[in-house]
Amino acid sequence: MAHAYFENISMTVSKALTQLDISQNSLASVPSAALKTLHQLLILNINHNKITTIHKKAFEGLDTLEILTLYENKISVIESDAFRGLDKRKLKRLNLGGNELLHIPTSSLSSLDMLKKLEMQENRISVIKEGDFEGLKHLDSLGLAHNQLNEIPARAFSHLTLLNSLELEGNQIIRVDPDAFIGLEENLQYLKLGDNNLHTVPSDALRRLHRLRHLDLRANNISNLLEDSFTGYGDSITFLNLQKNMIKILPPLVFESLNSLEILNLQNNKLMHIPEDVTENIVDTLKLLDITVSETRSRTNSTSSSSSNTSSYSSSSSDSTSSRTNTADEDNPLLCDCELHWFTIWLSNLREKDEEIMSKKRTVCTMLQEHREYLVQKMPLQKLGCIKSKNPERALSTSFTVRKTYSPIFILIVLLLIWSFSK
């Protein structure tokens, strides 16, 4: 019945129906009379209509309904008894996204105490406060992306103690209160704060989240990371996205507590150097470190390099300068120097583990002396004075092994000498 362009529905449908889709019509209200006898209905989609108000008892009789989607209507009012008549023990998922809600409809939602997933993305909600989600004690996933929030106040989610996933991306958030995530300490694992206006990592608020695994902070205005930005909560994080910020420097100990980290995205920042000590504590768990250039830049350089049959992204001085100018606001302007020596080894080891990932990732650096770019894997280490061996890869491997093993061997020798002298 989707795409049928009904303005109202009064027809008789089978009482044994379990799924009904009346999306993309011209319904101005919920067709309650036509629905109330569908006592076996499990899924109801009323997306892309012209509904402005959900009246009280709009879904009365649908006592088996588990999934209700009202995405992309024009809903601005949901009366307090709108969902009365639904079996509150049955409804598990409610989608109110893409509407015109200005606030959380607490009075109508509070009776849905078995609801697992609530989607309210793409509305016009500008304020949330403590108590807005009272009654939703079994909620597992909450979507508030692409609204107009500018602050996350204290205890905003304090009633959602079982919440596992929270989506707040695409708002205008400039501040997260240190007590914003009270109540979420034991269960929240997925947090999206990307595409907002944060200038720092909201560490004080995040330190409550002992089980956090995925943290997305992409596309904010973060320019500085403090050494303790991830201290106190980072030991369970496996995915960290800092893409599209303004980060210029990575403090040496900034990732020290991220001892479970597998994926780190630093693409499209302002980084010129990535010293080895920054990643020393995560290099063994890390599966993907993304500091790649944008796709546009990769294609541009690939075209120019292929014309000269080189795999090092070579280009003329003018072409290279032009490329950097066009993408200066997007890419990490990494410099080819000995500080990236460790990264070439790490990439080589990673390539052996996952060739498919490496084939899609193109990390380049600029060699200022030559005004040209190289793939980091092809960085001219001998020319830079980083190594003197005729076999760069072997020298790198040996250097890396010695660095990793020298300290324990040295300590053992010292202990043996002490023991022999003591005799």
- % of the chain at pLDDT higher than 90: 58
- The answer to whether 362 touches 298, Cβ cutoff 8 Å, is yes
Q: What is the pLDDT of residue 281?
A: 86
pLDDT score of 384 more than 90: no
Give domain 1-123's CATH architecture.
Alpha-Beta Horseshoe (3.80)
- Whether 1-123 shares its CATH topology with 126-291 is answered yes
* Digit-coded pLDDT (tens) for 319-373: 332 333 333 345 788 888 888 878 877 777 764 455 555 555 678 888 888 888 8
Q: What is the pLDDT of residue 308?
A: 34
Name the β-bridge partners of 175: 151
- The answer to whether 195 touches 222, Cβ cutoff 8 Å, is no
Q: Can you give the residue ranges of every domain in the chain?
A: 1-123, 126-291, 387-422
Q: What is the pLDDT of residue 374?
A: 84
Q: What is the pLDDT of residue 364?
A: 84
| CATH number attached to the domain at 126-291 | 3.80.10.10
- Please tell me the least confidently modeled range out of 107-116, 125-134, 246-255, 271-280: 271-280
- The answer to whether 43 touches 20, Cβ cutoff 8 Å, is yes
More confident of the two residues 255 and 387: 255
* Digit-coded pLDDT (tens) for 280-314: 888 889 988 888 754 444 444 443 333 333 222 22
pLDDT score of 142 more than 60: yes
Distance between CA 97 and CA 49 in Å, rounded? Answer: 13
- Please tell me the least confidently modeled range out of 202-216, 221-235, 246-260, 405-419: 405-419
pTM of the model: 0.80
pLDDT score of 195 more than 90: yes
Q: What is the pLDDT of residue 423?
A: 54
* Digit-coded pLDDT (tens) for 221-275: 999 999 999 999 989 999 999 999 999 999 999 999 999 999 999 999 999 888 8
* Digit-coded pLDDT (tens) for 24-34: 999 999 999 99
